[in-house]
A = this chain, B = another copy of it.
């Protein structure tokens, strides 16, 4: 690797390791069941969590660098068992810079019933632009999960998909945006669950959902700061 690439990878190793802490903080993961990756911009490379390593033990050094076929380029450990799914997304969706996978409980409950989360909250309209869709049932170990993610999210506003009987995958322009989507996905899945548990939500007009989505994507946060709103 040339020095510029070396530095970009070092930065992403640090960022990806640190972002796993957000999955823990928001209670999205139990034991080792969740992972974050980042694409190395302009390269056919990604940085991803090693498989089965405790979140306490993650640091920049033990992150794994793979190519976009999931072959390890740097790292002594095996990469996440979900590496093939992450890699497939990066190959198929060129504007995706980060991917996150969790089994966060409320969202996964919707996934286990195969129900999309309908949009009855302004926060969901802001971040997801409408419902959070369900993807197909797919077995691990090949491209099926990746294909299911891509076919569901392509052309969809939502950066999150509920993979049937499995859990959540989210995408973003970078790893931080994908982590934010995972956090917000569980948050709206929970509020939607609590809403439905005692009755029926009131609808939001589709035009209002559109308006909220457009505004949030273009006005919220520190515009021009050159990075994902924190």
Contacts and interface: CB of A to CB of B under 8 A. Distances in A.
Contact of A215 (B53, B141, B180, B230): B141
A197 B85 CA distance: 30
Contact of A199 (B113, B201, B211): B113
A121 B198 contact: no
A191 B29 CA distance: 12
Given A140-B212, A165-B120, A211-B139, A81 B202 contact: no
A222 B51 contact: yes
A200 B113 contact: yes
Given A30-B184, A195-B112, A222-B53, A105 B190 contact: yes
Given A120-B165, A220-B51, A221-B51, A103 B195 contact: no
Contacts of A123: 33, 103, 166-167
Contacts of A184: 30-31, 33
A95 B196 CA distance: 37
A10 interface: no
Interface of A: 26, 30-33, 50-54, 57, 77-78, 81, 103, 105-106, 108-109, 112-115, 120-123, 137, 139-141, 164-167, 180, 183-184, 186-187, 190-202, 204, 208, 211-212, 215, 219-223, 229-230
19 contacts: A33-B187, A50-B222, A51-B229, A52-B220, A52-B221, A54-B230, A57-B230, A103-B121, A106-B194, A108-B121, A108-B194, A112-B195, A113-B195, A113-B198, A113-B200, A120-B165, A137-B204, A164-B202, A165-B201
A204 to B, nearest CB: 5
Nearest to A145: B122
Contacts of A112: 120-121, 191-192, 195, 201-202
Nearest to A138: B122
Given A51-B229, A54-B230, 5 more contacts: A32-B221, A53-B230, A121-B165, A139-B211, A165-B202
